[in-house]
A and B are shown apart, each in its own frame.
Chain A
Amino acid sequence: MVNTPHADFVLESREHLQLLERSMLALEKATSPEARNACIDSSLRAVHSLKGNAGFLGFQSVQRLAHATESVLENFRNHVHSPPIAVVEAILLASDRLSSMIEDLGFSESHDISELIKTLHALAVDTSDPVQNAPKNVIPINLRMPSPPASVVPLLDSIRTLGSLRESQLTQVDLQTPTANWSVAELRLQGRLHTDRSVIEVQRHLSQTGAAVPWRDLGANEISGLNAQQLLQHLAAVQGELVYEPTRLDLGLPVQPIVWNQAVSDLPIQPIVKVTPIVHVTPIVHVTGSPTNHPENIQPKPIQQVDETVATTPPVKTSSNELVIHQEPIASEDRKEIVSKPTGDAATNSSPTEKTTSLRIPVDLLDRLMNLVGELTLIRNQSLLAFEEIEGTSRAVIQRLNSVTTELQDAVLKTRMQPVGHLFGRFPRMVRDLARQLGKQVELVMVGQEVELDKTVLEQLSDPLIHLIRNSIDHGLETPEVRIRSDKPSVGRVTLSATAADGQVIIEIRDDGRGIDPNAVRAKVLALGLKTEAELQKISSKELYSYILLPGFSTARQVSDVSGRGVGMDVVKTNVERLEGSLTIDSAPGMGTSMILRVPLTLAIIPCLIVTVGKERFAVPQRGLEEIVCLHPGGESFIEHSYDSELLRLRDVLLPVVRFSEALRCKSTFCAETKLAILAANSPADRDPQRIEYILVLRTKGRKFGLLVDDVRGTEEVVVKPMHPSLRKIGIFAGATLMGDGRVALIANIDGIAEHADCYGVEPPQSSGILNRDPAEVHRVLLFEFGPKELFALPLVQVRRIESIAMNQVEYIGDQAFITIDGVSTRIIRLDKFLNVSTCEQSPMMHLLLPKFVKEPVGILVSRIVDTESLSIQMQEASIEDPGILGTAIVRERLTLFLDIQYLREGIFGRARALSTSQSREVGLVSSPQVKATLDVVPHILLVDDTPFFREVVRRYFERDGFVVTTAIDGNDGMRKLAEGDFDLVVSDIEMPNLDGWGFCQAARKAGYKTPFMALTSLSKTENSARAIECGFDGFEEKLDHDRLIHSVRKMLGLIAEEQQDGN
Chain B
Amino acid sequence: METESVKYCTFEAAGRLFGVPLIDIKEITAETNYTCIPHAPECVSGYVNIRGNIILGLDLKQILALPAKEEDVSKRMVIFKSTVGPAFGLLVDEIGEIVSVSSQDITSDSTSIGSELQGLSGLVQNICRLPNQLLVVLNPRKFLPIIEKELYQPSR
Contact = CB atoms under 8 A, between A and B. Distances in A.
B39 A721 contact: no
A745 interface: yes
A307 B72 CA distance: 88
A616 B49 contact: no
B15 interface: no
A742 interface: yes
Given A736-B47, A743-B33, A372 B52 contact: yes
Contacts of A664: 38-39
A396 interface: no
Interface in B27-56: 33, 35-40, 44, 46-49, 51-54, 56
Interface string A634-677: 00000000000000000000000000000011011000000000
Contact of B49 (A667, A729, A742): A742
A658 to B, nearest CB: 14
Nearest to B47: A744
Given A738-B49, A743-B33, 14 more contacts: A374-B52, A375-B51, A378-B52, A616-B36, A724-B54, A724-B86, A726-B151, A727-B37, A742-B49, A743-B35, A744-B35, A744-B47, A744-B54, A746-B38
B58 to A, nearest CB: 9
Nearest to B58: A726
Contacts of A668: 154
Nearest to B40: A727
A102 interface: no
Contacts of A742: 33, 49
Interface extent on B, as a size class? 20 to 34
A639 B14 CA distance: 47
B52 A724 contact: no
B148 A371 contact: no
Interface string A526-537: 000000000000
A726 B147 contact: yes
Contacts of B51: 371-372, 375
Contacts of A370: 52
Given A730-B151, A742-B33, A736 B38 contact: no
A745 B35 contact: yes
Contacts of B33: 742-743
B88 A724 contact: yes
A743 B48 CA distance: 7
Interface string B5-32: 0000000000000000000000000000
Contact of A746 (B35, B49, B56, B87): B35
Interface string B81-92: 000011110000
A850 to B, nearest CB: 44
Contacts of B49: 738, 742-744
Closest 5 CB pairs of A and B: A371-B52, A375-B52, A664-B38, A744-B47, A744-B35
Interface in A738-752: 738, 742-746
Contacts of A727: 37, 40, 44, 56, 147, 151
B128 to A, nearest CB: 28
Contacts of A667: 38-39, 154
B53 A371 contact: yes
A5 interface: no
B106 interface: no
Contacts of A214: none
A732 B51 CA distance: 26
A665 B86 CA distance: 26
Contact of A721 (B35, B38, B54, B151): B54
Contacts, number: 75
A392 interface: no
Nearest to B152: A729
Contacts of A289: none
A725 interface: yes
B35 A616 contact: yes
Contacts of A743: 33, 35, 49
B68 to A, nearest CB: 20
6 contacts: A372-B52, A721-B54, A726-B148, A736-B35, A742-B33, A746-B35
B150 to A, nearest CB: 10
B35 A724 contact: no
B114 to A, nearest CB: 27
A429 to B, nearest CB: 39
A744 B144 contact: no
A604 B53 CA distance: 15
Nearest to B146: A726
B140 to A, nearest CB: 13
Contact of B56 (A378, A726, A732, A738): A726
Contacts of A616: 35-36
Contacts of B144: 726
A736 B54 contact: yes
- B39, B44, B46, B154: most-surrounded residue (chain A CB, <10 A): B39
Nearest to A375: B52
Given A665-B38, A738-B54, A744 B86 contact: no
- B52, B54, B86, B147: most-surrounded residue (chain A CB, <10 A): B52
A721 B39 CA distance: 18
Interface string A859-898: 0000000000000000000000000000000000000000
A343 B49 CA distance: 49
Contacts of B87: 724
A664 B46 CA distance: 14
Nearest to B31: A742
A744 B49 CA distance: 6
Interface string A350-387: 00000000000000000000111011001000000000
A733 B47 CA distance: 13
B148 to A, nearest CB: 5
A738 B49 CA distance: 7
Contacts of A736: 35, 47, 54
A162 B52 CA distance: 74
Interface in A708-734: 721, 724-727, 729-730, 732-733
Given A730-B39, A744-B35, A724 B56 contact: yes
A725 B86 contact: yes
Nearest to A615: B36
Contact of B40 (A375, A730, A738, A745): A730
Interface in B106-156: 144, 147-148, 151-152, 154
Interface string A323-340: 000000000000000000
B5 to A, nearest CB: 33
A315 B47 CA distance: 62
B38 to A, nearest CB: 4
Contacts of B37: 727, 730, 733, 746
B52 A732 contact: no
A1035 to B, nearest CB: 51
B75 to A, nearest CB: 16
A876 to B, nearest CB: 55
Nearest to A752: B39
Nearest to A738: B49
A729 B151 contact: yes
A724 B46 CA distance: 11
A725 B147 CA distance: 11
A744 B44 contact: no
Contacts of B38: 664-665, 667, 730, 732, 746
A732 B47 contact: no
Contacts of A726: 56, 85-86, 88, 144, 147-148, 151
A742 B34 CA distance: 11
Nearest to A742: B49
B154 A738 contact: no
Interface string A592-635: 00000000000000000000000010000000000000000000
A725 to B, nearest CB: 5
A746 B53 CA distance: 14
Nearest to A370: B52
Contacts of B88: 724, 726
Contacts of A746: 35, 37-38, 47
- A616, A725, A726: most-surrounded residue (chain B CB, <10 A): A726
